[in-house]
Amino acid sequence: MKKDYSLIIDTFIIGIIGSVCAQIFIVLLHFISKFSLDYLVGYIPQDTIKLLSNYTNYGEYNAVMLLIVIVTGGLISGFLVYTFAPEAEGHGTDTVIRAFHRQGGYLRGVVVPVKIIASAVTIGTGGSAGREGPTALFSAGVGSLYSNFRKVGWKRRQIYVLIGMASGLSAVFKAPLGTSIFAIEVLYADNEFETRELIYLLFGPLIAYTITGFLFGWEPIFHVPNVQVTEVKTYLEIVILGIASGAIGLILPNVFYGVRDFFRSLPVKPHVKPAIGALLVGIIALYFPEVLGGGYGFIQESINGNMLGYFVLFLLIAKILAFSFTVGSGGSGGVFAPSLFIGAMLGAFVGYLLHAPIAAFVIIAMASVFGAAARTPLATIIMVVEMTGGYSLLAPTTLGVLSAYIVHNMLARIIQPKYISLYEAQLLNKEYSISYQMDKIRDILICHSKILNLKKAVVQREDIISLLEKGEAVEVGDNKYVFFGTFTKEVKLNEGDLFKKYRGAEILYVFRNGRWLHNSVITSIKEGDEVLLIGKKETIDVIKNEFIPLSQTFAKLRIQEESIQ
């Protein structure tokens, strides 16, 4: 009961702080937009117009000044991020996912102010990015900082980070339930959820939503006419829309990360790369100014039926390139809003071709594209419905997202692209998470401690993670060493007294295709199996050459982190 009271109070505090930080970010973003784009350029993206005032763009904007402003924004953002907090580069959500899986939720305190300022500068000067990624990162940083203050363990820190992330997103998008589910769904790519302390993950975003509602109003982000989908023909057309959304959902991450990989390969300082990306976005914006910013205003225009024809198809392509250049170059901004924009344009185009209800198709495509591209179908359905207030479209939206998700999976299996998700730090499921694997291996060793005469204190020491990442043989007592690595060939195992053996070493467990297999159910080791074994030092030294002394599966996030640094 004491734990419950403590968590309630902590969640309440994190929800308040996360909401306040999100509002500070939005106010700063609007101030920078007003000065740089309105005063200097003479143009403000429509989503910013709506939030600032009843401002309307008049006449021609200054194209040269636009290029100067957006490139300057890229330079400032690049300097801030790569000088003070390199982990804050890009859209931010991947950083939270990595921190959750690899670092027990730890995020450096400097990430919070750097991400707020750098993202406000990037988006406020015209960068083609959204608010959700930065909000996710600095709000998660609030949860991590609060964990330092409370001196809690890493498992509780992970929960506080998720509460912070969900609370900040709820304050920005006014979608408390959807953002709660997003926080627990985005961690994994295979329909798995982080359900620890779920009730508190719902409570934090509710607090943030309530504060935002009282201060700034309760209206949803988008206004949707009362649309009903009642005809069988329309539902069949929604399946077609879902198929198209699934294809776009697979194209998006590969274009985005392809651009990101290209920028990382450029032989220039990372501080300058966001400015190069910004210049490319500025050139696109000379022809399609609609790509500037997150694009919420133009999403609303498409819902209203004011953006139709083949023009929206060109906007779709332009937005894919623009947001890839902004965020892929290292600029600070999110991928959620651009994905909604792309989905909205797709929905408007398909609705136009099929003579279907445009507003419904725009909303359904928004959810379908992002749900497939981000591997978060459930969260996206609820978030988009909450953001639009289109609860009457819940069933058709679910059909569209489900169709897109299935098509995305089918295409991914057939084509086998390099990237399948907008969040590359996602793990397939919990079995691939370092934090869970640490517990799993400790449980295995503790379970066998009496049989193998292992010392529990040694088994439970913190450097056991080296088994997973460094390929080191770790002593666990009585001249016995545990080793974990990837086997390079297929061999038959010999029977032992208690465990099957390979060249004198005892096989404890084998990790194969995402599952831990006890030695009793295997007769051989296959090439690519990741094997946990125990033996004397001289035995391990002999057979180590037959292993890749590193778990490639569990090294994924470490490799990503090193490439960023």
CA distance 165 to 11: 12
Q: List, in sequence order, every beta strand (DSSP E) within 112-240.
A: none
CA proximity to 7, closest of 146, 193, 139: 146
pLDDT for residue 50: 46
CA distance 211 to 214: 5
Where in the chain are all domains bearing CATH 3.30.70.1450?
431-564
pLDDT for residue 464: 67
Is the alpha carbon torsion for 111, 117, 121, 127 positive or negative?
Answer: positive
Rounded mean pLDDT, 258-280: 94
Evaluate if residue 555 carries a pLDDT over 70.
Answer: no
Render pLDDT for 147-201 as a digit per residue (tens, 0 to 9).
988 888 888 899 999 999 999 999 988 999 999 999 999 999 888 888 887 888 8
> pLDDT-derived band of residue 382, with 50, 70 and 90 as boundaries?
very high
CA proximity to 259, closest of 242, 238, 281: 281
Is the alpha carbon torsion for 282, 285, 289, 291 positive or negative?
Answer: negative
Rounded mean pLDDT, 57-83: 86
CA proximity to 128, closest of 310, 421, 311, 329: 329
Q: For residue 344, how far is the Cα from the chain centroid?
A: 21
CA distance 87 to 400: 35
Report percent pLDDT > 90 for the chain.
42
Where in the chain are all domains bearing CATH 1.10.3080.10?
2-216, 232-415
Render pLDDT for 465-488 as a digit per residue (tens, 0 to 9).
666 666 777 777 777 888 888 888
> pLDDT-derived band of residue 446, with 50, 70 and 90 as boundaries?
confident
Average pLDDT, the chain: 85
- DSSP secondary structure code for residue 281 in this structure: H
Q: Which residue has the higher pLDDT, 181 or 492?
A: 181
Evaluate if residue 48 carries a pLDDT over 50.
Answer: no
Look at 26-40, 273-287, 379-393, 546-560 and tell me which has the smallest mean pLDDT: 546-560
Evaluate if residue 502 carries a pLDDT over 90.
Answer: no
Rounded mean pLDDT, 274-293: 93
pLDDT for residue 523: 83
CA proximity to 424, closest of 258, 277, 282: 258
Rounded mean pLDDT, 520-549: 81
Evaluate if residue 552 carries a pLDDT over 80.
Answer: no
Half-sphere exposure of 54 (CA within 13 A, CB side): 0
CA distance 102 to 562: 13
Q: List, in sequence order, every beta strand (DSSP E) within 61-194.
A: none
Distances (CA, A) of 331 to 82, 129, 175, 236, 357: 10, 9, 26, 40, 36
CA distance 103 to 266: 29
Rounded mean pLDDT, 127-151: 89
- DSSP assignment of 360-393 equals HHHHHHHHHHHHHHTT-HHHHHHHHHHHHT-GGG
User: According to the CATH classification, is domain 2-216 in 1.10.3080.10?
Assistant: yes
Q: Is residue 354 classed exposed, middle or buried when 0-12, 13-18 and 19+ CB atoms within 10 A define those classes? A: middle
Specify the amino acid at residue 556.
K
Partners of 509 in beta bridges: 518, 532
Residue with tokens 């819902």: 303
pLDDT for residue 411: 96
pLDDT for residue 293: 87
DSSP 3-state assignment of 511?
strand
Rounded mean pLDDT, 72-97: 89
Instruction: Decide which of 3.20.20.10, 3.30.70.1450, 3.90.470.20, 3.40.50.2300 is the CATH code for 431-564.
Output: 3.30.70.1450
Which stretch, 291-295, 347-351, 445-449, 503-507, has highest mean pLDDT?
Answer: 347-351
pLDDT for residue 468: 60
Render pLDDT for 214-253 as a digit per residue (tens, 0 to 9).
888 888 888 888 888 888 999 999 999 999 999 999 999 9
DSSP 3-state assignment of 531?
strand
pLDDT for residue 55: 41
> pLDDT-derived band of residue 565, with 50, 70 and 90 as boundaries?
very low
Rounded mean pLDDT, 278-295: 92
Rounded mean pLDDT, 391-397: 90
At what angle are helices 232-265 and 394-415 packed, to 10 degrees? 50
> pLDDT-derived band of residue 49, with 50, 70 and 90 as boundaries?
very low
Rounded mean pLDDT, 353-380: 94
Which tokens belong to 521?
A: 């159910």
CA proximity to 190, closest of 492, 421, 531: 421
pLDDT for residue 47: 54
CA distance 19 to 415: 42
CA distance 77 to 58: 29
pLDDT for residue 109: 86
pLDDT for residue 516: 84
Look at 132-146, 420-434, 493-507 and tell me which has the smallest mean pLDDT: 493-507
User: Which is the CATH superfamily of the domain at 232-415?
Assistant: Clc chloride channel (1.10.3080.10)
Evaluate if residue 51 carries a pLDDT over 50.
Answer: no
DSSP 3-state assignment of 410?
helix
pLDDT for residue 348: 95
- b/e per residue 486-501 (b: at least 16 CB within 10 A): bbeeeeebeeeeebbb
